[in-house]
Amino acid sequence: MSSVARVTTITVRSDTSFEDAIRSGIERASQTLRHISGAWVKDQTVTIEEGKITGWQVVIEVTFVLE
């Protein structure tokens, strides 16, 4: 039996860390997408204000198997 997967891109921002952004993004995607089988962090960026990091943002490619 074969399976077909789809990849969707999501962008997530956190006020605390990259790890928090990734976790939050996967948890949120899991509320809508079924059968998530993996994710790839495509990009990471930070927001800086007055020399301090104020935000962490990730772009995640989420893979899920179609029913």
Is-contact 27 15, C-beta < 8 A?
no
Which residues of the chain are under the pLDDT cut of 70?
none
Residue 13 CA to residue 15 CA, distance in Å, equals 7
Q: What is the pLDDT of residue 3?
A: 86
Q: What's at 67, amino acid-wise? A: E
Q: Which fold has domain 5-65?
A: Dodecin subunit-like (3.30.1660)
The per-residue pLDDT for 28 is 96
What per-residue confidence (pLDDT) applies to 37?
93
Return the pLDDT at 41: 97
Q: Looking at residue 67, what is its pLDDT? A: 85
Sheet holding 36-49, edge to edge: 5-14, 52-65, 36-49
